[in-house]
Each structure stands twice: as C-alpha cells, then as structure tokens.
Amino acid sequence: MTGEGHRNSHDARVTPAGTMRETLARVWALLGYVPVTVAVVVGVSWLFLASGLDGGQVDHSVVTLLNPLWYVTSMFVHADAAHFQGNMTLIVPFGVVLTLFTSNRHVLLVMVVPHVLGNVLRVVVAPAFAYGASGAAFALVAATLVRSAGYAMDNASTESLGTVLVGVLTPFLLFFFLIAVVAGASPVAHFVHFFAFLFGGAIEAMYVLGGHDDGEDERRVPDRLGLG
C-alpha cells in the first residue's frame, strides 16, 4: 500500500470518531441554551410560595434590613399567587430570550444586580421592605431590548448603536417615571421598577457597546453551534 493510500485509509477510519466529537460538541453547546437561571428563579419562588413563605411571613424588623442576604433572597418571596404570576409573566419569556442571546451566567448577573441595587435604593430613600422579583423582571426586559437592538445594528458604528439604544430605552423610562409620579399608592415601588429597568439596560449596554467594534460577543446565534 502506498503512503498516500495508507493516509486515505487512516482518514476514513477517524472520520466517524471526528463526526461523533463534532456532534457531541454541538449537543453540549445546545445545553448552554437551556434557561437554567430562569428555571431556578421560577422554581425556588414557587417553592417559597407553595410552602407558605410569602411576604406576610417575613420578619419586618431592622434585623432583616441589616442582613445582606435578604437583598438577594427577597427576589424569591412574593406577596401572593397573583404577585408571583405577574412577575413570572415577564421573567420567563424575556429570560429565555436573553439566555439564547447570551448565557445563564449573564442572565443571573442581569437579574441579581439590578434587584439588589433597587432594594438598597428603596431602603435608603424610604426604609421599607420590598420583596418579589419585579426588579429583576424589569431589568430583564430592558436587557433583552438592548441586546436585540445590538444584534439588529451589528453593522452600524458604535456611535449609531449608542443613539439607537438611547432611543429604545428612553420611551420606556419616561413611561415608568410618569407612572411613579402619578401613582397614588406605593410610588416608591414604582420608582424601584424605573431604576431596575435603568440598571438592567445600562448593564446590557456596557456589554453590547463594549464588544461592538471588535466583533466580540458572549455568543452569537447560531455561530456557537457551527451553523453560521
């Protein structure tokens, strides 16, 4: 057998294994699109509510406000089933879409940071207890809008993209601000929603604008699957 024939025979033998590795790599990449963060938030929040751990069971004392863990775990506590359902109505669709655009780790960042900042802001401005995932929900909406605009304006300059992002977020911010101003009941809560939306949009804008010129991104669909 000639050298060339030997190489061809060797290539024929390794091709199935190479195909299997490529298939497994694509399956592993697909698993990264499973919205684990969203599922955990929904599941833990439901468990809290189903076990009777709602807003009425929270220790409304300064001890709770001084506990740093409260500003994270309060995301899973809801006043009642309607409160839970309302938040999940936003978290599930927007969280799934943002997971497809980015990653579970990124979605976790977008949910937790604005939620914590919003709760801290509420305590500083008007000391009171805030619980529920509405801050995280509004942050997810803003981040998804920003990321979608970033993909749509992929070939635009950074300056043009920045203008578009401001144009996308400003009407929503004005709307939420007006709601907070005219709200007869719990205006502080509405301002927390306003700032959560602002924080979520700002965080996502830093990622989108930061990776725009050099073409870097957390992942692109479907490039990460080898289909682009």
What are the pLDDT digits (tens) for 126-164?
Answer: 777 778 999 999 999 999 999 999 988 888 898 999 999
CATH code at 36-214: 1.20.1540.10
Residues 36 and 104 sit within 8 Å (Cβ to Cβ): yes
How much is the average pLDDT of 25-42? 84
Could you tell me the residue ranges of all domains in the chain? 1-31, 36-214
B/e letters for 123-148, b = 16+ CB within 10 Å, e = fewer, are: beeeeebbbbbbbbbbbbbbbbbbbb
What are the pLDDT digits (tens) for 12-23?
Answer: 455 666 677 777
pLDDT at 191 exceeding the cut of 90: no
pTM, rounded to two decimals: 0.81
